[in-house]
Structure 1
Amino acid sequence: MIDFGGDSRGIWWDRLLLNLDSHLKEKSECLKYIKLAMKDSSILEKELLLIQDRAIKIDKEKEIELRIILDEPVKKCIKNRVLGKDLGDGRVNRFVIRNDENDEVECSVEEVARKYYLENEGFTNGVHDEGAIWHTIFGILFYDIIFDVEEFSDTWISECQDSPIDLPNTLYSRRKTQFDSRFEWLNQAEDQEIENLIRNVWKNNCQITNRECNWSLFESPDIIIDFWSCLPRDGIYQIFKRLAENYRNCRSGFPDLTMWNISEKRVTVVEVKGPGDKLSTKQRLWLDCFQKFGIRAEVCHVAAENDKQLL
């Protein structure tokens, strides 16, 4: 039985507090209910952080004990030329960079940051995919568990599906034994064993479209293996465990960029923000997660160097 509403409690708490604080201006009443909400163990992490942020804002006496302590990501600020905002398609900012042929081209704020990290931070590879690379590695390492048609046939009811119907809700709880066994194996397996798993999954499935794996990110399994060799084994175990256990609420919010250097065996994730942009709750939580588990996490703010209009 799939529970589609069991994780909505925090959403209703947040809505109540928003009404009391912002609309009714009942600060003392809001603070009273914040105290109750902070004791509710069923509230998910993302809503709990929203509630805690509100508590920090209105709890002048600091009566409320914080339940989530986030590590601050590294912050970088860079500047780049920006065009005018009113150019027809609703984009907030359009940036200009020089391509490999030294021509000026329009690009996204994420591409500005990716180019900066490749040219100035010593990285040799980098993608702007907003987490697709992490979902792909997760999908490859747990492919037989996620896409098991035989044992979990009730999650496959149409030939048109690209994922089991319980992916957002009970992915982990229904496959706990299999996931935990694979997590334990990943912690203990030799590098060659993991490489063999990656190659076998690629060979047998890279032509099959599914929700989790973006095969086009990698030209071959060798590139996946090179990327995997840069990751801290304990850290990646924790990151994928968080994703598996609460897929519905953790599938989004991954940093925009993933940058790596194979020879130096280092990886950095980067959330890119243009002028006026702020981190969302899910983004803050994922940055904290990567930082805590041994993968450098950064926020790159791209400021406008000028404000030219395209004529």
Structure 2
Amino acid sequence: MFFGNLRQDWSEFVLADLGVYRYEPVPLDSASRAFQQRADIDAYLTLRDCRESFDLAPDAASAVTALDTALDTLDTLAPRTRHNDWLRSRHDRVRHAAGQAAERLGEPALAWRAYADCGHPESRYRCVRVLEQLDRRDEALALAQAIAGAPANEEEAQRATRTLARLQRRRATAQTPTTPGAPTFASAELTLPDACAGLRVEEAARRTLERAEAPVFYVENTLINSLFGLLCWPALFAPLPGAFFHPFQRGPADLHATDFVSRRAGLFAACLAEFETGTYRATIERRFTQKYGIQSPYVAWPALDATLLALALDCFPAAHLKLWFERLLREPGANRSGLPDLVRFWPRERRYELIEVKGPGDRLQDNQRRWLAYCAAHGVPVTVLQVRWAAPEGTSAAPTP
């Protein structure tokens, strides 16, 4: 129970001593412990047993029985987890997982029971879907309207808008609710040469687009997240209660909690204030050197070197970095993914372009659409690049900027 989980073991000490993994030192005291009393340990183990009971069930019938029993146990356990925010979040995760398992098994009544009293950020929207399955469409519509009117985050707003349109169509109403049109983003096409056959489309596009005066890098979710992680390092590793339980954590345990940012509002504000003072570049470069290799939930060390870092800081305007970081802070967990695949720099002109690559038959994911819309709305240069392979007869020239 030293680690507060059943995933890590004593090998962490050995790997840390050997230097295989390095962790940011964070002050720890008795208030930092995941478990404050024996009852907390018992509650954690009960949550583990509940999750395994339906995850490891040998067949569908056994899984349904296990889910019913697990939900009874979770109902009983709920009062014993409310005093411990970390345990309560674990409780909500198990309850949400039970709802998802019930949906997969075609048991909407069980799913409703799981989601209805769950604090997991995705459970409210899942309630709408389950109400539809239970043919309680008026309730589903009312809840979807409530979500659309006050969404908890961008993903929930996006889903609620789609669901409202579908529910309205089924009710055969004269008109669906209107929503502001999403900003449009640039698109282009590229034919990949035969020489790139066998490569992933992202790498093939990168090689085809690259020029001596305009290097292109495959970065996807690594570069912008890494810059954020370096600038906001003090906030991410602040020794707040419930964040760090032991010396072998790559990030705070409450990273996905709804109050993660609000608990550190002053610290994050101080980090972002460096864009106004102009000290952000020196801070990022200094932390890149000082913290190199230390585990972090945001910094992807293998994808970041001094050359890429310098190009990014030369070509990304401070205003754009701040915009990206502000969006990351809206939903620190969800918004880490969905960023464009490539970045193309023009160092002499100190400008750049983000590029999302889509191969034949590939479609934009919801989280990608949200990032693209955000960038387009704020004047960030971003392009969706539709690629295709060259016909055997010949190839098409790559577009030039």
Go from structure 1 to structure 2 and tell me whether the alpha carbon gap of 1:10 and 1:225 turns closer, same or farther (over 3 Å shift): farther
> Which residue is 2:329 aligned to?
244
Tell me, yes or no, if the aligned pair for 2:311 and 2:345 is still in contact at 8 Å. Answer: no
Q: For 1:11 and 1:209, how far apart are their aligned partners in 2?
A: 33
Tell me, yes or no, if the aligned pair for 1:239 and 1:293 is still in contact at 8 Å. Answer: no
Aligned length: 273
Output the amino acid matched with 1:161. Q
Q: For 2:124 and 2:337, how far apart are their aligned partners in 1?
A: 18
Q: State the TM-score, normalizing by the size of structure 1.
A: 0.76
Structure that is richer in strand per residue: 1
Query: Are 1:116 and 2:208 an aligned pair?
Result: yes
Q: What SS class does the counterpart of residue 273 from structure 2 fall into?
A: helix
Question: 147, 150, 153: which one pairs with 1:44?
Answer: 153
How far residue 306 of structure 1 moved from its aligned partner, in angstroms, is: 4.6
Output the amino acid matched with 2:200. S
How far residue 283 of structure 1 moved from its aligned partner, in angstroms, is: 0.5
Structure with more contact order per residue of length (Cα contacts < 8 Å, sep ≥ 6):
1
Tell me, yes or no, if the aligned pair for 2:128 and 2:143 is still in contact at 8 Å. Answer: no
Question: 343, 346, 360: which one pairs with 1:258?
Answer: 343
Q: For 1:10 and 1:306, how far apart are their aligned partners in 2?
A: 48
Give runs of aligned pairs for residues 27-106 of structure 1, distance below 5 A.
32-33=141-142, 36-37=145-146, 39-56=148-165, 59=169, 61-66=174-179, 69-80=181-192, 96-98=194-196, 106=198
How far residue 234 of structure 1 moved from its aligned partner, in angstroms, is: 2.1
Structure 1, unmatched stretches of 5+, are 82-95, 99-104
Q: What SS class does the counterpart of residue 175 from structure 1 fall into?
A: helix
Query: Are 1:7 and 2:121 an aligned pair?
Result: yes
Please identify the structure whose Cα radius of gyration is greater: 2
How far residue 287 of structure 1 moved from its aligned partner, in angstroms, is: 0.7
How far residue 129 of structure 1 moved from its aligned partner, in angstroms, is: 2.8
Q: Which moved more, 1:135-144 or 1:242-251?
A: 242-251
How far residue 134 of structure 1 moved from its aligned partner, in angstroms, is: 0.6
Tell me, yes or no, if the aligned pair for 1:268 and 1:296 is still in contact at 8 Å. Answer: yes
Q: State the TM-score, normalizing by the size of structure 2.
A: 0.60
Query: Are 1:156 and 2:265 an aligned pair?
Result: no
> Which residue is 1:213 aligned to?
299
Q: For 2:391 and 2:132, how far apart are their aligned partners in 1?
A: 37
> Which residue is 2:360 aligned to?
275
Tell me, yes or no, if the aligned pair for 2:219 and 2:342 is still in contact at 8 Å. Answer: yes
Q: List per-residue Cα deviations over 1:186-245 (Å, max 9, x = no partner).
A: 2x113xx3332123212211132322112233332x642331221222222121011023
Tell me, yes or no, if the aligned pair for 1:17 and 1:33 is still in contact at 8 Å. Answer: no
Percent identity reads 21
> Which residue is 1:197 aligned to?
283
Output the amino acid matched with 2:178. E
Structure 2, unmatched stretches of 5+, are 1-84, 90-118, 393-401
